[in-house]
Amino acid sequence: MISRIVFARSSCAWLLLFAPTVLAQPGSPPGATRLAADVVISAEVEPEAATSLGAAATVIDSAEIAASKATTIVDLLRTVPGLDVVQSGGPGTVTSLFLRGTASTQTLVLVDGVALNSPYFGGTDLSALSTANVERIEVVRGPFSALYGSEAIGGVVRIFTRKSAAADEPSGRATLAFGNRSAKEAFAEVALGSGSLTGSAGFRRALTDGDLPNEFFAATNFSGSVSAALTDALRVGLVLRRDEGRTGIPFSSGTATPHRTTTNETTTFEAPVSLALSAKSSIEASFRWVKDSPTFSDPDAALTSSSTDAQRAGARVVFTSILGAQRLAAGADWERTLVSSESNFGVALEDASTRTFALFAEDRIALAGERLVMTAGLRWDDHSAFGSAVSPRLTLAWRVTPTLKLRAAVGSAFRAPSTGELYYPYSGNPSLQPEKSIGYEAGFEKSLAGGIVAEVSGFWNDLRDLINYDPVTFTNQNIGSARTRGVEVALRTPVGAHSILRASYTYLDAKDLDAGTFLIRRPRHRASATYATTFVSGGSVSLTGMWVGARPDRDAADFTRLVEDPSYLRVDAALTLPPLALSLAPFVRVTNLFGRDYVEASGFPAPGRRFLAGLEAAF
């Protein structure tokens, strides 16, 4: 099941968002100019240059993805500032995100605009999500309910499918690799543009065993997209993704489970439409649908089997217009969730449903030749279970000099109670209210020699009405409160550079204010560094180091007892040689290079040294 931490979600809100934008000015140094070419899509209604944002953002582009030879999204997210990834064992096991101290239930995960967060009990399990046909990943940190509604308390992780350039020749790459622990992997992606029609597709099949009996993972991933320009002003598209995973669970609470398995099948679909009304105004709309179907099976246990069918369907429309120094946007969201779940004990939920309607608006104002940019947003959500919620956000970016930007942001966010929290027969409470938060952030970015950017961010989040299980009433109640605060320090090179450098350090103070204890699985200190470069003759090398400090956790055998997970260092490396005969390039990827023993979650040993070696063909 998806692990979760109590924090804030809700579902209906008017949006007024403030997220400044300041472009590099004429005469800016080369570093600032190159940075101005970087664009962040997820922080505002319209894409913005990174130099103009009033929020902290990290972009992992296609060059870094290719150089790392990472085949799962999880491994790419481990080095993002402020983001902790916790996997309960080896490949395919439950994986949780802790963004600025919040958890999977407070972090919105989108694939091409489609939310992956489960409507059953919240959160997102990314364990089977592949990099096949993925062009870029963006992580924007801070409360973003003003733009996205429920679940965006800690921030947003957004994954983008590869898009084709308008070229007649197809492009792509394919790999075939083998490794230790019976690992096998095949991967391919292709993109083609022909006139007004473009498309892309990706496929991955992976198999691997673990160190214990009944420890294995098998994954199949497919992704495809097509986009057509019907006229000079009108473009329509279709995006489809399918991720399947089957995992063997070798033990539970210290007891061997030789026949326990879990599966998960996730299908996402989006149909986007964009219409340019004039040179300064446009309408964008989309229909989105996702189905998540996890199962559990263990013939040796009391709970021998369970299955869930969780669906989200929604639509979004946004009108944007530029009026002098202002960019105004307004739109509406609609969403419906539908959940059914049963086990050998009987039906838990049958077509339990929630509905959300939202209106939002955003106003971006650029002053002093774009040196000072303010963005204000406001969203109103109306939820079928608890009523309405309002989420404001304001950001400010000030380009003090061509190489120095100051920024600040404040906003509120919420998390709507999930369908399971509302209606699950053993603990559900239809009277639940949304979890709520208010967050503050301030920081600066400084362009250094060679285009490197140094970034420092300080943040503070207050969370209340968190949904906890109440042992007195035997139901979920809004009885929790927490506070997270910290500092993020990061170095990064511009997106698209031939050499990639990203380094970060995060200090986090995350407390359960009711119990007076630190929130579990959140380290106070963590650091990471990634360096990758592409050879002139082809090929690349990538090296990543991750250090995670000690953190509190729950004992795997006695969940009521607190323990401490020790700190650990993990190093990953990847090498791709220049193409040899038939344009085939040998490569090798090694995770946990030094074979260190460590755990990310108490009681679940992480894998030792793993390697994949094979051939890559690019065209």
pLDDT of residue 12: 30
Pairing of β 346-367 and β 372-383: antiparallel
pLDDT score of 362: 97
Whole-number pLDDT of residue 508: 98
Rounded Cα distance between 50 and 54, Å, is 9
What is the pTM (predicted TM-score) of this model?
A: 0.91
Over the stretch 93-148, which tens digit does the pLDDT of each residue have?
A: 999 999 999 988 999 999 998 999 999 988 888 888 899 889 999 999 999 999 99
Instruction: Quote the pLDDT of residue 366.
Output: 94
* Token representation of residue 601: 């979650």
Burial label, 39 (beta-carbon count in 10 A; 0-12, 13-18, 19+): middle
Long-range contacts of 200-203 (CB under 8 A, 24+ apart): 200/133, 200/161, 200/162, 200/163, 200/164, 200/224, 200/225, 201/133, 201/225, 202/130, 202/132, 202/133, 202/134, 202/161, 202/162, 203/132
3 state DSSP class of 426:
coil
Q: Which two tokens stand for residue 176?
A: 């075939």
In whole angstroms, how far apart are CA 134 and each of 137, 318, 360? Answer: 8, 25, 29
C-alpha to C-alpha distance for 115 and 314, rounded to whole angstroms: 10
Show Cβ contacts of residue 236 under 8 Å, excluding neighbours closer than 6 positions.
227, 228, 230, 271, 272, 273
In tens, the pLDDT along 288-346 reads: 999 999 999 999 999 999 999 999 999 999 999 999 999 999 999 999 999 999 999 99
DSSP string across 269-293: EEEEEEEEEETTEEEEEEEEEEEEE
On whether the CB atoms of residues 127 and 109 are closer than 8 A, the answer is: no
Count other C-beta atoms under 10 Å from residue 594's C-beta. 10
Residue 168, pLDDT score: 66
C-beta neighbour count of 323 within 10 angstroms: 10
Phi, psi (5° rounding) for residue 146?
-60, -25
> pLDDT below 70 — which residues of the chain?
1-37, 164-168, 495-496
C-alpha 508/C-alpha 298 separation (Å) is: 39
- Measured CA to CA, the distance from residue 488 to residue 494 in angstroms comes to 18
Cα separation, 80 vs 62, whole angstroms: 16
Is 247 exposed, middle or buried (CB count within 10 Å of its CB: 0-12, 13-18, 19+)? buried
Query: What's the pLDDT score for residue 165?
Result: 58
What is the CB neighbour count within 10 angstroms for residue 168? 8
The domains found in the chain, sorted by start residue, are 20-162+173-618 (2.40.170.20)
